Chains A and B, each alone.
Chain A
Amino acid sequence: MDRHPEMRTEADMTAVGVPAPRWSKAGLTFHADGQAHLFLANGSRLYGIDDALLGSFLGRANDDDALSDWLAEHQLDAERFIDDTAIDPFPVHAISLAVAQKCNLGCTYCYAQEGEFGGRPKNMPLDIAKASIDALVGGVTPGERVNIAFLGGEPLVNRDVLRAAAEHAERVADEKGVQVNFSITTNGTLIRPDDGEFFERHGFAVTISLDGVGQIHDAQRSYKGGRGSFDEIIRRVTPLLERQRRMQVSARVTVTPGNLELPRTLEDFIDRGFFSVGFSPMLSSPTRRGEMDAPALETMLEQMIACGGAFEEAVVEGRRYPFLNMVNAMREIHRGTHRPYGCGAGGGYLGVSAEGAYFACHRFVDDGAGAMGTVALGPDETRRREWLSDRHVHRQEPCSGCGARYLCGGGCHHEVIHRGRPACDFIRGWLAYCLAAYVRLSARRPDFFGAAPVRPV
């Protein structure tokens, strides 16, 4: 099999005369466009280098002192972009509202255990939604932006509260001069035409959970009685896809060993007009069903790289190709994003349960491991401080010695706390591919990254 360069082993690469990508604590070395490259974890800095430099770097990559001297010699030394200090809790700028802790689907792997988070089914009352929003808007200054995500369970089960809460948020945000963005993640089975009008009017980012085309989706995301949901979702979502202007309707695919044909899914969903399509591996399920193991993750990596190839081709040709994982990776590599956390959970972002308790994020709803206070009494600042200290990537293992630590940030806290880190090779493999793709695309289409286009000579 002709494996993609980022998938090749050292032996494969020696056979074709090009060194394999190699991770170290310092970062990654790889070849792209016939040139050696060095990605330094500290600051997520990317350099093109010559082969002699590559050789001298590799000779020191695992010796901190020797590497420090080497970096200074080549004027690549820098103070630590991220130190060991945890960020202090700061005003929350984003919340999710679990407006319905109940669901009409019975997905095999659901972190919310079919929507109910292991408890009894319940809806969020409007007064709790309003109080959560008032606290959010009250905590920021005029001119700032806040994000409100409606999640569940299935949020459209509690449509009236969702709509009243969004209208309330717009009102209080407008009074204070705060901008508000809305999003919803829905299974799509309950969407009505007037929901589309509402989402369009309020500029919602709408994410539909879809795990593949037809039976592939149905095998993972059926109604509780076992009936497939794909056709019904498409029937209900298609009118939204056609009318999206302010709203953006995206598809999110949870990848299990049962739906690994990613390029087919990606093409199909892009053709249907989704604003973006993203894939995420199922790493931690309360039932253990659907969790990805090492062989499945290796297959997923191959499939993701195949999708990435289609993305590269489209970008070079100037076609829009909204493969969300690549769009995000290209932006973050270009900026040199470096983060001490995998996400904003417990920091700028909190989840609110139907009963009005704060949790680190939507996945931790009703889970004591992520409890963060209550809307009535305010966020538990001591708990947030402890969380931000404990979850810092420098305090995670094996992250502290991983060259991908500041691009990855240590992964999803919920998955890590409940299962560990089974996907590190997958993440490093994907990032190695993305870094090489960035080199190729930034040379061919600098305009994709905001620079002036390359002029033909």
Chain B
Amino acid sequence: MPTIKAKNVTAEMQFRGRGNPPASHPKDAVGNFFPGLEFNFQNVWKRFFVGLEVLEHNAQVISVDEAAVTASGGDIVSQGPDATPLSAVAGGLFLAIDGKQTFTQVQGPLQDPDGGSPFILFEWSNMLADIHAQKGGTGQTVECFFQPAGDGRRVGPFRLKVNRLLEPDSLLIKRDTSLPGEITESLCSPWQTDYIGCACYYWAANRPDYVNITDADTANTTGHNWLNVARVNAGGKPLYTLVDTNLLSHEDVMQGWENKFQFVFRSKDSPDGSAS
């Protein structure tokens, strides 16, 4: 076997380990998992914002350390007319950063009368990566808006500082923003995480998006969202919904998946096209 050893940073970034597929460079990662599942990159974003802990997979604020935010020069009270304390967004969601939305409203011929026009989360880590390149560790602030938990309000802006997540002049993930054990958290259950996360006809998805399809070749086609546990019918036809209270969550899959999944055969729930 020939010997090739990457010696500087750009060579390391471009280097492909023997046996890894062509898409196994960091730049080809799918945004959350590093190629090859060596670690879960979602966890690296946890301390992206100085003083906040964040869950990447649903853009949620886990906790707020107001003292750390203040020490960094960030806002602990919103600059908007609402003057909301930052502590109120613990458990809430990010809505926008520097004018870019984290969620978008779904457009399309939805049939669920209760569905309204639901919002879905972008793969916002792409946005975070861009902000990291521009502002990570520079002392520049980002303007953030949030939706507090159990509250439909949009609050903000809060000016927050952004950590640099890599060691200087290196590809090493920084020691003080990713604590020991954190980057491999959740790898104990990779398939459950993928089962929810890999969707939208993503090539690596190992389950269908859309089942029990009727009138497939017509404009009136419909079917069930595979994630929807209720499998509701309306007018004798499957009702498609994106209302997330009816959808399988990571938690559902971790706890008792065997009671929630059934076989899907030729795009239909088996044996009878209905929920078990």
The answer to whether A and B belong to the same complex is yes
Contact of B6 with A by CB under 8 A: yes
Q: Is the Cβ of A144 less than 8 Å from the Cβ of B140?
A: yes
B15: shortest Cβ distance to chain A, in Å? 8
Q: Which residues of A contact B5 (CB under 8 A)?
A: 47-49
Q: Is the Cβ of B9 less than 8 Å from the Cβ of A334?
A: yes
Q: In the complex, what distance in Å separates the CA atom of A227 from the CA atom of B24?
A: 66
Contacts of B121-151 to chain A: CB distance below 8 A: 135, 138-141
Contact string against A for B residues 1-29, beta-carbon threshold 8 Å, 1 for contact and 0 otherwise: 01111111111011110100000000000
The segment from A37-45, A157-165, A201-209 that touches chain B is: A37-45
Q: Is the Cβ of B8 less than 8 Å from the Cβ of A333?
A: yes
Contact string against B for A residues 101-143, beta-carbon threshold 8 Å, 1 for contact and 0 otherwise: 0000000000000000000000000000000000000000111
Q: Which residues of B contact A11 (CB under 8 A)?
A: none
Contact of A78 with B by CB under 8 A: yes
A78-B14, A450-B167 given as contacts; is B8 within 8 A of A334 (CB)? yes
Interface centre among B4, B15, B135, B141 (most CB of A within 10 A): B4
Q: Is the Cβ of B4 less than 8 Å from the Cβ of A336?
A: no
Contacts of A319-350 to chain B: CB distance below 8 A: 331, 333-336, 338
Contacts of A404-456 to chain B: CB distance below 8 A: 438-439, 442, 449-451
A50-B3, A74-B2, A331-B169 given as contacts; is B8 within 8 A of A44 (CB)? yes
A140: shortest Cβ distance to chain B, in Å? 11
Contact string against B for A residues 367-380, beta-carbon threshold 8 Å, 1 for contact and 0 otherwise: 00000000000000
Q: Which residues of B contact A451 (CB under 8 A)?
A: 170, 172
Q: Which residues of A contact B9 (CB under 8 A)?
A: 334-336
Q: Is the Cβ of B4 less than 8 Å from the Cβ of A335?
A: no
Q: Is the Cβ of B11 less than 8 Å from the Cβ of A336?
A: yes
Q: In the complex, what distance in Å separates the CA atom of A144 from the CA atom of B139?
A: 8
Contact of A85 with B by CB under 8 A: no
Q: Which residues of B contact A334 (CB under 8 A)?
A: 8-9, 169
Contact of B152 with A by CB under 8 A: no
Q: Which residues of B contact A141 (CB under 8 A)?
A: 140
Contact of B256 with A by CB under 8 A: no
The number of residues on chain A lying at the interface, defined by a beta carbon within 8 Å of a beta carbon of chain B, is 35
Q: Which residues of A contact B167 (CB under 8 A)?
A: 450
Q: Is the Cβ of B170 less than 8 Å from the Cβ of A47?
A: no
B161: shortest Cβ distance to chain A, in Å? 9
Q: Is the Cβ of B10 less than 8 Å from the Cβ of A47?
A: no
Q: Is the Cβ of A46 less than 8 Å from the Cβ of B169?
A: no
B130: shortest Cβ distance to chain A, in Å? 15
Number of contact residues on B: which range applies? Answer: 20 to 34
Q: Is the Cβ of A49 less than 8 Å from the Cβ of B169?
A: no
Contact of A52 with B by CB under 8 A: yes
A79: shortest Cβ distance to chain B, in Å? 9
Q: In the complex, what distance in Å separates the CA atom of A142 from the CA atom of B8?
A: 33
- Partner of A46 from B8, B16, B139, B168 at Cβ < 8 Å: B8
Q: Is the Cβ of A143 less than 8 Å from the Cβ of B3?
A: no
Q: In the complex, what distance in Å separates the CA atom of A43 from the CA atom of B9?
A: 10
Q: In the complex, what distance in Å separates the CA atom of A218 from the CA atom of B11?
A: 46
Q: Is the Cβ of A45 less than 8 Å from the Cβ of B8?
A: yes
Q: Is the Cβ of B169 less than 8 Å from the Cβ of A335?
A: yes
A-B pair count, CB < 8 Å, reads: 84
Q: Which residues of A contact B14 (CB under 8 A)?
A: 43, 45, 76, 78
Q: In the complex, what distance in Å separates the CA atom of A145 from the CA atom of B6?
A: 33
Q: Which residues of A contact B6 (CB under 8 A)?
A: 45-47
- Partner of B11 from A46, A50, A53, A74 at Cβ < 8 Å: A46
Q: Is the Cβ of B7 less than 8 Å from the Cβ of A37?
A: yes
A45-B14, A53-B2, A143-B139 given as contacts; is B168 within 8 A of A450 (CB)? yes
B24: shortest Cβ distance to chain A, in Å? 10
Q: Is the Cβ of B170 less than 8 Å from the Cβ of A74?
A: no
Q: Which residues of A contact B4 (CB under 8 A)?
A: 47-49, 53, 74-76
Interface centre among A37, A74, A143 (most CB of B within 10 A): A143
Q: In the complex, what distance in Å separates the CA atom of A81 from the CA atom of B172?
A: 21
Q: In the complex, what distance in Å separates the CA atom of A451 from the CA atom of B168?
A: 9
B74: shortest Cβ distance to chain A, in Å? 12
Q: In the complex, what distance in Å separates the CA atom of A143 from the CA atom of B172?
A: 25
A46: shortest Cβ distance to chain B, in Å? 4
Q: Is the Cβ of A43 less than 8 Å from the Cβ of B10?
A: yes
Q: Which residues of B contact A179 (CB under 8 A)?
A: 139
Q: Is the Cβ of A336 less than 8 Å from the Cβ of B8?
A: yes
Q: Is the Cβ of B11 less than 8 Å from the Cβ of A142?
A: no
Residue of A nearest to B140 (CB): A143
Q: In the complex, what distance in Å separates the CA atom of A180 from the CA atom of B141?
A: 17
Q: In the complex, what distance in Å separates the CA atom of A47 from the CA atom of B11?
A: 7
Contacts of B188-238 to chain A: CB distance below 8 A: none
Q: In the complex, what distance in Å separates the CA atom of A333 from the CA atom of B7?
A: 10
Q: Which residues of B contact A336 (CB under 8 A)?
A: 8-11, 13
B50: shortest Cβ distance to chain A, in Å? 13
Q: In the complex, what distance in Å separates the CA atom of A290 from the CA atom of B120?
A: 68
Q: Which residues of A contact B168 (CB under 8 A)?
A: 450
A80: shortest Cβ distance to chain B, in Å? 12
- Partner of A75 from B7, B16, B139, B141 at Cβ < 8 Å: B16
A428: shortest Cβ distance to chain B, in Å? 18
Q: Is the Cβ of B11 less than 8 Å from the Cβ of A45?
A: yes
Q: Is the Cβ of B7 less than 8 Å from the Cβ of A47?
A: yes
Residue of B nearest to A337 (CB): B10
For this complex, 19 residue pairs linking A to B, each with C-beta atoms less than 8 Å apart, are A43-B10, A45-B6, A47-B7, A48-B4, A49-B3, A49-B5, A53-B3, A75-B16, A141-B140, A142-B140, A143-B139, A334-B9, A334-B169, A335-B9, A336-B8, A336-B11, A450-B168, A451-B170, A451-B172
Nearest 5 pairs of A and B residues by beta carbon: A336-B10, A143-B140, A45-B11, A48-B5, A50-B3
Given contact pairs A142-B140, A334-B8, A336-B8, enumerate 20 new A-B contacts (beta carbons under 8 Å): A40-B11, A43-B11, A45-B11, A47-B4, A47-B6, A47-B11, A50-B2, A52-B2, A53-B3, A53-B4, A75-B16, A75-B18, A143-B138, A143-B139, A334-B169, A336-B9, A438-B7, A438-B8, A442-B7, A451-B170
